[in-house]
Amino acid sequence: MRTKTAERKVSQTGFRYVVEVRVLNMVKWTRIIIFVAIANPILYLLSIGIGVGSLIDSKDGLGGVEYLTFLAPALLATAAIQGMLDEVIFPTFEGFKWVKNFFAMNSTSLTGSDIAGGVFVAALLRTTFTVVIYWIALYFFGALDSPTAGLAIPAAIFAGASFGALIMALAARAKNEDVFMLITGRLIVMPMFLFSGTFYPLDLMPTFLQWIGWISPLWHATDLGRFLTYGHQISTTTLVFHLIYMFALLIVGLYFAFSNYSKRLAK
């Protein structure tokens, strides 16, 4: 017979348990995750990097840098952003609507912030894995040409994290998943991929379109990545600005992700 109800300890780092279940779920897809991580860079590097590259390199349009080298940091950051989006959008839809497992988590001592934090950290783990594999592929294709090239890995993950946090915050508010996917995929991610100085320097773009690059974390990460992988010249101010911009986006995104998760759970 129970007679007393002693105080129970509540973990202040409950997000760890959400990371645990997300990883347990990812492990079920290990083979697919590894296959995608390897196939994706190889396909891109073969088709655009080498194919398009041979066309461009013959005309020497990028000031002495091989096209593959120029493109590599942009592809790396794109892979980070895409990986991050997959791992924040689908678990968010699943958790709030498809399976409603966030409500199960929230009926334990876990809070909305724990759940958001856990989903985010797990997404970062998966993204780190993807980016490292991508980087190794770039290395073998000879697309890296600087002792600081290793730092392109955290730079790409940084871009994925800052953009992922923002999309996670929006996904937590989405009522219709199809519309949400359509808007983020077609109207945000696709233009960002095309207009962030990914395939050619941003200044070649008409001025009235350059703003897309300036607000795009992909451009900031790509410019930073070019500096790190082949010594593309940027001023210290630009360097600092890239870092501050992505950091600010990350903080704002996480703030709204945490609060939107909590609000939707309490509805």
CB of 121 to other proteins, least distance (A): 15
Residue (of 257, 264, 266) closest to 121 by Cα position: 257
Q: Could you tell me the smallest distance in angstroms from the CB atom of residue 92 to other proteins? A: 15
- Does residue 28 touch other proteins according to CB under 8 A? yes
Residues between 29 and 68 with contacts to other proteins, criterion CB under 8 A: none
Shortest reach from residue 95's CB to other proteins, in Å: 9
What's the closest the beta carbon of residue 267 comes to other proteins, in angstroms? 7
106 binds other proteins (CB under 8 A): yes
The half-sphere exposure of 241 on its side-chain side, counting CA atoms within 13 A, is: 11
Kindly state whether residue 1 participates in binding other proteins, applying the rule CB under 8 A.
yes
- Minimum Å gap between C-beta 48 and other proteins is 35
- Give residue 43's identity as a one-letter amino acid code: L
In this structure, the dihedral spanned by the alpha carbons of residues 22, 167, 266 and 13, taken in order and rounded to 10 degrees, is 40
Query: How far, in Å, CA of 40 to CA of 79, rounded?
Result: 8
User: Residues 34, 99, 182, 187: which binds other proteins (CB under 8 A)?
Assistant: 99
What minimum distance in Å lies between the beta carbon of 195 and other proteins? 37
Answer yes or no whether residue 107 interacts with other proteins by CB under 8 A: yes
Determine the Cα angle at 189 with ends 201 and 97, to 5°.
Answer: 165
Distance CA 58, CA 29 (A): 42
Nearer to other proteins, 3 or 236 (CB): 3
Residue 21 interacts with other proteins (CB under 8 A): yes or no: yes
Query: Is-contact 166 253, C-beta < 8 A?
Result: yes
In the list 54, 55, 60, 109, the residue contacting other proteins (rule: CB under 8 A) is 109
Helices (H) and strands (E) in the chain, counts: 12, 0
| Span interacting with other proteins, options 31-39, 80-88, 103-111, 226-234, rule CB under 8 A | 103-111
Contact of 181 with 97, CB cutoff 8 Å: no
Tokens in use for 12?
């202040």
Residues that bind other proteins (CB under 8 A): 1-2, 5, 7-11, 14, 17-18, 20-21, 24-25, 28, 99-101, 103-111, 265-267
